[in-house]
Amino acid sequence: MDKTGDAESLTRRDYLAGSGVLLGTSIIAGCSSNSGEPPNTGTSSAGGTGTSMPTDDGSYTALLSPVGEIEFNSVPENVFTMYNQYADMLVALNHGDAINSMFVPDMAGPSMNHYYERLSGVSFDWEDLPNPYDNFSKEFFYSLGSDVHFLDPAWAITQENWDVNDIKEITNNVGPFFGNFYSGTHGEPQEPYSQNYQYYTLWELFGRVATVFQERERYEQLKTVHDELINTIQTNLPPEEERPTAVRVTLGDGQFWTYHLNRPGFWLADTRPLAANDAFGDETWDGLWGSVGYEAMLEADPDVILHLWGMTPRYDMGNVRENLASHSVGQELSAVKNDRVYAHGMRYHGPIMNLFQIEMTAKQLYPDIFGEWPTYESGDHYPEIPSDEQLFDRDRVAGIIVEG
């Protein structure tokens, strides 16, 4: 596996249990944290919208597990992001210029712009952004001076030399944390963030980020586009027995890194709505992913192979297909024989990318229903699709983002 390009290869700590606990401290630098969400079992979706009306002095609150209720005196202008779903959310809210950092910018930045190319007036300037994972230290956080950190403290304390006291220090001296990592996979919470952690869908999380930026109207308009897309998909799906078998994988050196399609969590927000038959759906792996060899893949023999990260600069799909076709076992795979090995998107994706990746997946899995997926060459932007074959309106989305 590509240890520099695959965002999931960070460290085994990334998928160990993690959850949230209220810090219970007063945040001086523009925000305060003083209450929490109702506890739950850690397995259900959080209700409510996390919204509040501005008070007479212009302050307002946003609510998110595990950090609780955060008070803002004004809309943040200098924002820490790590995982790319938050960067995509800020672009969707027309606040992309507030981003001061992001995970693997030379991979994520071009990939995001591959989608934005199809939205008139939407782009993202990523070139000078530092990667927090290269220097995950308190000194780095101080140097950025962020108004808010879109980062889950429950994840942050799994990193070397970080604990709850460090979270409190950065919260008090720089800015609050506002992130929820483990909703991505519904991972098991860990102490001390184990009691009140709640899970959100991608669009629920986006709604709470929208509250931070006082952009509820933009959010609601984009969510309507998403809901209409999901309705289009799900009202046209064939019966389960007529759906293809599929896998989402990353091809490594002699093996396939494998990922589920239909499990809970916002990391699967682009495949779960399509409800294909997961060729490895019954497998339980030690963590967020597993690995299988060529023989096991041939035994499963999926109709469709979705190559995760295939639309990023880290992988050349021509080489991927060539490697499969030249392998003595790989060439026997039905997906290889039938030319159904597709470049897929990023697992860390936000709302704009989600719209495109749902459309992409629909066409790759069900071409007879949703139209053929166009030819895609590595390095290209998201393919041009005729307007009558698009599953959502690009002009409508661009207008929401740019004009509000």
Residue (of 399, 362, 386, 403) closest to 119 by Cα position: 399
Tell me which residue of 319, 328, 21, 7 sits closest to 167, measured CA to CA.
21
Predicted pLDDT at 258: 94
* Residue labelled with tokens 């997946």: 361
| CA distances (Å), origin 279, targets 105, 191, 292, 299 | 32, 34, 12, 10
Count of C-beta atoms within a 10 Å radius of residue 201: 16
The token pair at 79 is 């924002």
CB atoms within 10 A of CB 388: 6
Tokens found for residue 195: 């009691």
Question: How high is the pLDDT of residue 404?
Answer: 81
Quick one: pLDDT at residue 279?
A: 96
What are the structural domains, with CATH classification, of the chain? 7-215 (3.40.50.1980), 226-403 (3.40.50.1980)
Query: Closest Cα partner for 60 from 214, 291, 171, 194?
Result: 214
Model pLDDT, residue 29: 25
Query: What six digits make up the tokens of 305?
Result: 């192979």
pLDDT score of 16: 25
- The predicted structure's pLDDT at residue 285: 79
Name residue 33's beta-bridge partners: 70
Q: Which residue from 102, 103, 124, 128 is spatially nearest to 113, judged by alpha carbons?
A: 124
Q: Using CA atoms, how far apart are residues 273 and 233, in angstroms rounded to an integer?
A: 7
Collect the ranges in the chain with pLDDT lower than 50: 1-47
- Predicted confidence at residue 194, as pLDDT, reads 80
Position 387 scores a pLDDT of: 94
Q: Both tokens of residue 373? A: 């997926």
Residues 20 and 66: their CA atoms lie apart, in Å, by 4
- HEC string for the chain: CCCCCCHHHCCHHHHCCCCCCCCCCCCCCCEEEEECCCCCCCCCECCCCCCCCCCCCCCEEEEECCCEEEEECCCCCCEEECCHHHHHHHHHCCCHHHEEECCCHHHHHHHHHHHHCCCCCCCCCCCCCCCHHHCCCHHHHHHHCCCEEECCHHHHCCCCCCCHHHHHHHHHHCCCECCCCHHHCCCCCCCCCCCCCCECCHHHHHHHHHHHCCCHHHHHHHHHHHHHHHHHHHHHCCCHHHCCEEEEEEECCCCEEEECCCCCCHHHCCCHHHCCEECCCCCCCCCCCEEECHHHHHHHCCCEEEECCCCCCCCCHHHHHHHHHHCCCHHHCHHHHCCCEEECCCCCCCHHHHHHHHHHHHHHHCHHHHCCCCCCCCCCCCCCCCHHHCCCCHHHHHHHHHHC
Paired tokens of 8: 């999931």
Buried b (16+ CB within 10 A) or exposed e, 272-294: bbbbbbbbbeeeeeeebbbebeb
Task: Give the burial string for 68-77 (b: 16+ CB within 10 Å, else e).
Answer: bbbbbeebbe
Cα(118)–Cα(393) distance, integer angstroms: 10
Residue 299 near residue 283, CB atoms below 8 Å: no
Q: Are 211 and 76 in contact (CB under 8 A)?
A: no
In whole angstroms, give the CA distance from residue 156 to residue 23.
Answer: 14
How confident is the model at residue 19, as a pLDDT? 27
- Residue 155: what residue type? W
